[in-house]
Structures are given as C-alpha cells and as structure tokens.
Amino acid sequence: MTTATFAKGLEGIVAAETQMSYIDGQKGVLEYVGIPIGELSSNSTFEEVVFLLWNLRLPRADELKEFTAALRSNYMPPEGLIQRIGALPKTAQPMHALRTLISELALYDTTPNANDVDAARAKSIRILGMAPALVACFDRHRRGLPFVKPDTSLTFAQNFLYMLNGEAPTPTMARAFDICMILHADHGLNNSTFTARVIISTLSDVYSALTGAVGSLRGPLHGGANEGVMHMLNEIPNLEAVEPYVMGKIERHEKIMGFGHRVYKAKDPRATDLQKLAKKLAEDTGNSDLYAKSNAIEKIMEREVASKGIYPNVDFYSATTYHCIGLKLDLFTPMFALSRIAGWSGHVLEQLRDNRLFRPKAAYIGPHDAPYIPIAER
C-alpha cells in the first residue's frame, strides 16, 4: 500500500519522466536534451531545437532539411479556417482566438483521434506549422487587413513576422524572434505542459491536449505574466517612479509580474539571455527607457526579495523584447504559445510512448454522514 501525501499545487511532486529539458532551479540551469540553453540560443535555430526536442538528438543536415520542409508544407491552414477567422469578433482576445482555432483545426483533420506516436507527431507538425498563420490572420482581421499567405521560403520566425506585418522582417528582428522561440520551447512539467500530458493520458487527441495547454498558459501566474510586465512598465511613467512603484507593491504584498518561479530560486537562465537581447533591441529601436525601467526594477527586487529566492523569470525581459520587435501587448502570450507548441507536443509524444492515466486523489476534508434536509426546510 502506498502512503498518500498532499502537496498543495503539487509542489515538489515528480509526476512524469522526461528526456527533453533539465532544470536545476537552485543553480539557474536549463538544458534541452543536455545542451545548455545559452548554447542553443547562441548557435541554433528554432527548427533545429524542435527536432532536438522531438527526437532527443540534434539533426544531421539532411534531416534538418527534411524536417524544415515538412514544417513549411504545413504553413497554410485550411481555407475554411481562414474564412472562419474573418467571422470572429474583432474584440476577441488573441489567446482566446488561438485556443479556439487550435481546437477547430481538429475539424479539418479526417483522423483527429489517431494518436499512435507517428500520427501524433504528424499532427504536432501540422499544428506547429499552421499556428503562426492563425495568430497572424486573426490579428490582421481585427485590424481590418487581409490575410497574408505564408511564404514557404521563409523560416518559422521570418514567416510569422511576414504574415503579421505584410513585409519581411529585418535579419536582426527575425533572429531576435527566433531566439525568443528557442528560449520558450520547453520547460519541464510546467502547468500548461502538465495540462497537455494529463489530457493525452486519457488517450484523447493531440488537438484537445494542445487546446487545454493554451488555456493554461494564458493565466497571469503562468505565460500571461509577460503581458502583466508590459502593463507594469507602462504604468511607471519614468525612471524616478520605479522605486516608489515597486516598494509600494512590496509593502502591499502584491506580486511583481515577471518575478518568482516555482522551480527557480536563482535567476532564470532564459531571463539572462533575454535581458541581453532586450538591451540590444531597446537601444536599436529607441526603447532604452523601457530597458532602463526593467533593469531598475530588477535591482530593487534583488535588494528587497532575492533572499526569498525571487528573481526575474522568462517573462520579465521577454516583455521588452517583444515590444521592441513591434508586437502588440496582447500578442505576447500567443508568441509564448507558438514556441511552446514544440514542448507541449514533445511531452504528448513522451506520454504516448509510455502512457499511464493521470488520476491523483483529493483528500476529502468535508463532513460525513450528513443529513439530507428537504428543500423546504433549508
């Protein structure tokens, strides 16, 4: 008989095995399949990282070429879905649109429930390939602009920015976006990844698993924090206002978005990479004030709460980075989702390879033998 222990928020509970990402939260280490994240963000591409996560090894040149071609052949969503986006309310939020549209992709798949590992991999590449067009098409629809068809000669990062803006991005912007995609691709058993694994463990389907994961990611305690960071930066009028703003929040026991992490008790290594990127892009795009405010917030937080293990997480500097790339605030979390489709799908494949239904228990803390009181007497 096993003894059941209760851990609120499943803190410290090991609920799955993975070969994809390794995190040492005390030392601030993140590796994908053993390769330090900094190595990958400096030398790799998003496409190569997706191959790495799904195959647990780096591709040879011919394999990368083949994988990239397969991804590009999925850039164009079904025509019916593009028309459908044109009928969505323009006031809808992009994360709600993305969640709905990933779910709707299943309606255009003749075998949506096939979830042997090969079928699940094919569906994953389909969703990853099409998701950028779904986000870009919805954003253009709400701006009253026509859909820009994907360009299969472009990389994942280039193609997204091209479909969003109607013009090819500069190499600097495309590379910055590619690095953001690499940094957000996978991160252990975070809440949205756990959601995906829980759903697929019922032998449901990849679309359902990823739809649930998008819903999880949008929460402000998870991927939605990057939007919260930008709201905060907009609320702080200038550098002088940073100290009273942050101290006020700390005194009121309010959380500063983009800080703290269930696993990291040191600076998130992705935040270190994104900080460099944010600084450079901010200088290049005339947004140095934004970077300066972020940096000042970090210094105050270091002084005040580092002793509790609260440091910047991935969302903190990604806000400035995305703003400098020219993305609207409510596209920040969808950007995170586009990249994390890689991780969610990889975890779905891992779960399918060695599945066991997730079914934890709840400790019942209510009454027993309670009387049934007739409705008229309540």
Active site amino acids: 222, 261, 315
* Least Å from the CB of residue 248 to ligand ACO: 12
DSSP letter assigned to residue 189: B
* Least Å from the CB of residue 195 to ligand ACO: 12
CB neighbourhood size of 27 (10 A): 10
Of 46, 60, 352, give the one whose Cα is nearest residue 199.
352
* Least Å from the CB of residue 336 to ligand ACO: 7
Token couple for 48: 């190569």
- Closer to ligand ACO by Cβ: residue 141 or 261: 261
Q: Which residues contact 160 (CB under 8 A, 6 or more apart)?
A: 132, 135, 136, 177, 338
Partner residues linked to 30 by β-bridges: 23
259 three-class SS: strand
340 three-class SS: helix
Sign of CA dihedral 54, 60, 64, 66: negative
- Closer to ligand ACO by Cβ: residue 222 or 280: 222
Q: How far apart are the first and last CA of the chain?
A: 42
* Least Å from the CB of residue 12 to ligand ACO: 10
| The 21-24 sheet, strands edge to edge | 21-24, 29-32, 35-36
Burial class (CB in 10 A: 0-12, 13-18, 19+), 62: exposed
In 3-state terms, the chain is what percent helix, strand and coil (to 5)? 60, 5, 35
- Closer to ligand ACO by Cβ: residue 23 or 257: 257
- Closer to ligand ACO by Cβ: residue 51 or 259: 259
- Closer to ligand ACO by Cβ: residue 84 or 249: 249
- For residue 66, give the H/E element and its range: helix 61-72
The residues of the shown chain that bind ligand ACO, judged by CB under 6 A, are 190, 221-223, 225, 255-262, 305, 308, 310, 313-315
- Closer to ligand ACO by Cβ: residue 47 or 298: 298
Cα 240 from Cα 292, distance rounded (Å): 11
Burial annotation 65-82 (CB, 10 A radius, 16+ → b, else e)? eebbeebbebbebeeebb
- Closer to ligand ACO by Cβ: residue 109 or 186: 186
* Least Å from the CB of residue 262 to ligand ACO: 4
Contact 105, 130 (CB under 8 A): yes
* Least Å from the CB of residue 307 to ligand ACO: 10
Tell me the residue nearest to ligand ACO as measured from the CB. Answer: 260
- Closer to ligand ACO by Cβ: residue 278 or 314: 314
- For residue 30, give the H/E element and its range: strand 29-32
Residue with tokens 């009928």: 87
* Least Å from the CB of residue 282 to ligand ACO: 20
* Least Å from the CB of residue 313 to ligand ACO: 4
Cα 217 from Cα 50, distance rounded (Å): 19
